Amino acid sequence: MKVLFISDNRCRDNLVPFPLGIACVASATAQAGHEISCLDLMFSRDPAADTVERIRAFRPDCVGLSLRNIDNQDKYAGEFYPPAAREIADAVRSETSAPVVLGGAGFTIFPAECLEYMDVEMGIVGEGERSFVALLERLEPGAAVDDTPGLALRRDGGVRVNPPGPHAWPGLFPPPERRLFDVTRYDWKPDNDHPFVANLQSRRGCHLRCIYCSSPTVEGRVIRVREAGAVADELASLQWDFGIGTAAFVDSLFNYPAQYTRELCREIVARKVSLRWIANLNPLYCDPATMEMMREAGCVSLSIGNESGSEDVLESLKKGFSREQVISAVKGARDLGFRINCFLLLGGPGENEATVKESVELMEELGPDMVSVTVGIRIYPGCELHDIALREGVIEPGQNLLYPAFYISPETESWLYPYMREVCDAHAGWNL
Ligand code: B12
């Protein structure tokens, strides 16, 4: 079959990300014998017209449309992306009767809501490598698709979502094909001097139970690691074949399982690359020996997911680590010379003036290079925060959360945002 993949993401917050998810699914699709074409609308001046033009040129039998972001998770300066995505689905439909299949992280969190909003019949929830190829196998001979694992199907006024089937162990699939897109167009910030930042993934899944986080919904709770040598090869190839200077691991938990992280670092060292890389660490698993090996392997910058500096709030967010562990993670990272980015996710259940003060003071004391601050927490289905918000009347039963809703504790709602604006303005490297 001829399959056109379209990346709908046009958000440039933080960076211009290489469409890694599509690159993974497209590689698996090509490996299964299909002909593929990819279009990233990030660089498009007229996305609908470019979509139509590509469809005329390629004549696809199926169109995969990836929805990474639904919104920018900002309670105070919100952006909502589905209307623009809907225009793309409409443009596809205006040119071809080939089926449109939605997929991606945003879609996975809101499958029924996205299908309804975009008036599309089907999508793949979760990892696309196995399920999307299974769907194509059914579409090609015109067979019934209903039993496809991970399929969300909108029919007869309702949406049915099939269980995803066994996890697609990342190692079973080819690495994401970088040549599907022009890697030189992706960077950390459109106007800085870090050219060609590439993202890559060494593992999927998160077993933690943070009350607000949708990552387990997107990636699953079981951690699956890729073969360490293959990941190191991919990293080396980014430097040698594509001239990438900096790579960013997208793994939420780069330091878990630690044994695998250390094996990966050894493999990277053996490749003798000079490329620098960055990763996300959870304070729960920050042991100095692993961090030292990361440094030796070229890691220069760490995002440490502390989210708070208050013992009470860490507990109510169910972060699973203590304030002491945050302190020792940040100090340990600083001793090893890493550039450090910490986070404050403020306004969750139990947040009050004293806990905010504790968090701000801890960040001042530890002095990371950057502090990324968020006020108000986006409510996602399937998370414990969703139940809390329902109980407290913040949202109503059945509320469509595709339209962003946020939790902010009653004790902080009236003052926290302007207060944190002032705090951030007064501290270099703090961003709200
Ligand atoms: C790493 C990450 C970041 C990094 C990106 C680093 C980089 N260099 O790429 C940083 C921190 C910079 C970031 C920023 C943002 N992020 Co972010 N990010 C993630 C994270 C943790 C992983 C994304 C990733 O690359 N995964 C690896 C790839 C391989 O997986 P994937 O894209 O999901 O693709 C798989 C499936 O989805 C599926 N699939 C994908 N496309 C398609 C297409 C078809 C047709 C099919 C069938 C299947 C399919 O198959 C793929 C392979 O299995 C996710 C959460 C998560 N755990 O997934 C959030 C996530 C995607 N981010 C999110 C958001 C909101 C943002 C920001 C808007 C936040 C902000 N305000 O700054 C920005 C936007 C950045 C941008 N310009 O687009 C949200 C999106 C949900 C929403 N509310 O919209 C997520 C889901 C986190 C969350 N809160 O739930 N992010």
**Cis amide bond preceding 257, omega within 30:** yes
Tell which one of 92, 187, 218 to mutate to probe ligand 1, the residue whose CB is within 8 A of the most ligand atoms: 218
Q: Above 60 in pLDDT, residue 215?
A: yes
Distance 21 CA to ligand 1 centre (A): 8
- Closest ligand 1 atom, residue 71 Cα: 84
- Report, as an integer, the average pLDDT of 345-358: 98
DSSP per position, 264-279 = HHHHHHHHT---EEEE
Q: Above 90 in pLDDT, residue 389?
A: yes
Q: Comparing C-alpha atoms, which of 293, 347, 304, 350 is closest to residue 327? A: 304
pLDDT at res. 171: 67
Confidence band, pLDDT 50/70/90 cuts, at residue 168:
low
pLDDT at res. 170: 62
- Report, as an integer, the average pLDDT of 370-379: 98
- Helices then strands, each counted (H, E), the chain: 15, 18
Least confident residue range of 103-117, 162-176, 307-321: 162-176
Give the separation between CA 119 and CA 136, rounded to whole angstroms: 20
- Report, as an integer, the average pLDDT of 113-124: 98
Q: Above 80 in pLDDT, residue 13?
A: yes
- Closest ligand 1 atom, residue 124 Cα: 47
101 touches ligand 1 (CB under 6 Å):
yes
Give the separation between CA 164 and CA 366, rounded to whole angstroms: 43
Distance 9 CA to ligand 1 centre (A): 10
Which residue puts its alpha carbon closest to atom 17 of ligand 1?
Answer: 69
Going through 282-392 in order, the beta strands assigned E by DSSP cover: 299-304, 339-346, 370-375, 377-378
Which residue puts its alpha carbon closest to atom 45 of ligand 1?
Answer: 64
Distance 273 CA to ligand 1 centre (A): 27
Q: Above 70 in pLDDT, residue 432?
A: yes
Tell which one of 42, 110, 114, 250 to mutate to probe ligand 1, the residue whose CB is within 8 A of the most ligand atoms: 250
Which residue puts its alpha carbon closest to atom 8 of ligand 1?
Answer: 199
Which residue puts its alpha carbon closest to atom 35 of ligand 1?
Answer: 21
Residue 421 neighbours by CB distance under 10 Å: 14
9 touches ligand 1 (CB under 6 Å):
yes
Distance 152 CA to ligand 1 centre (A): 19
Which residue puts its alpha carbon closest to atom 14 of ligand 1?
Answer: 14
Alpha carbon separation from 406 to 94, 142, 377, 380, 432 (Å, rounded): 36, 43, 5, 9, 16
251 touches ligand 1 (CB under 6 Å):
no
pLDDT at res. 165: 77
Distance 352 CA to ligand 1 centre (A): 30
- Report, as an integer, the average pLDDT of 234-259: 93
- Report, as an integer, the average pLDDT of 8-24: 92
DSSP 10: -
Per residue in 188-205, pLDDT tens? 554 445 556 799 999 999
Per-residue tokens: 372 = 């990324």
Which residue puts its alpha carbon closest to atom 13 of ligand 1?
Answer: 14
pLDDT at res. 190: 42
103 touches ligand 1 (CB under 6 Å):
yes
pLDDT at res. 408: 98
List b or e across 270-302, with b for residues whose CB sees 16 or more CB atoms inside 10 angstroms: ebebebbbbbbbbbbbbeeebbebbbebbbebb
Q: Above 50 in pLDDT, residue 33?
A: yes
Confidence band, pLDDT 50/70/90 cuts, at residue 247:
very high
Give the separation between CA 27 and CA 182, rounded to whole angstroms: 15
Give the separation between CA 127 and CA 169, rounded to whole angstroms: 10
- Name the strand (E) or helix (H) holding 333: helix 323-335
More confident residue, 346 or 14: 346
More confident residue, 419 or 190: 419
Distance 411 CA to ligand 1 centre (A): 31
Which residue puts its alpha carbon closest to atom 19 of ligand 1?
Answer: 250
Q: Identify the burial level of 324 via C-beta atoms within 10 angstroms of its C-beta, where 0-12 means exposed, 13-18 middle and 19 or more buried.
A: exposed
- Report, as an integer, the average pLDDT of 384-405: 98
Distance 350 CA to ligand 1 centre (A): 28
Tell which one of 5, 69, 129, 161 to mutate to probe ligand 1, the residue whose CB is within 8 A of the most ligand atoms: 69
- Closest ligand 1 atom, residue 131 Cα: 47
pLDDT at res. 142: 87
CB 277 within 8 A of CB 199: no
Distance 68 CA to ligand 1 centre (A): 5
Q: Above 50 in pLDDT, residue 328?
A: yes
129 touches ligand 1 (CB under 6 Å):
yes
Give the separation between CA 432 and CA 355, rounded to whole angstroms: 18
Confidence band, pLDDT 50/70/90 cuts, at residue 187:
confident
Which residue puts its alpha carbon closest to atom 4 of ligand 1?
Answer: 250
pLDDT at res. 166: 74
What CATH number should be reported for the domain whose range is 2-161? 3.40.50.280
Q: Is the domain covering 179-431 a CATH 3.40.50.11540 domain? A: no
Any idea where the domains of the chain sit in the sequence?
2-161, 179-431
Distance 19 CA to ligand 1 centre (A): 9
CB 187 within 8 A of CB 15: yes
pLDDT at res. 191: 47
- Closest ligand 1 atom, residue 11 Cα: 77
Alpha carbon separation from 225 to 23, 57, 247, 251 (Å, rounded): 18, 38, 18, 10
Which residue puts its alpha carbon closest to atom 18 of ligand 1?
Answer: 250
Q: Comparing C-alpha atoms, which of 303, 334, 327, 322 is closest to residue 431? A: 303
The percent of residues in the chain predicted with pLDDT above 70, rounded, is: 97
Please state the separation of Cα 417 from the chain's center in Å.
25
Please, what is the average pLDDT of the chain?
A: 94
Q: Above 80 in pLDDT, residue 169?
A: no
- Report, as an integer, the average pLDDT of 88-102: 98
Confidence band, pLDDT 50/70/90 cuts, at residue 183:
confident
Please give, one letter per residue, the 3-state secondary structure of 167-236.
Answer: CCCHHHCCCCCHHHCCHHHCCCCCCCCCCCEEEECCEECCCCCCCCCCHHHHHCCCCEECCHHHHHHHHH
- Report, as an integer, the average pLDDT of 175-187: 88
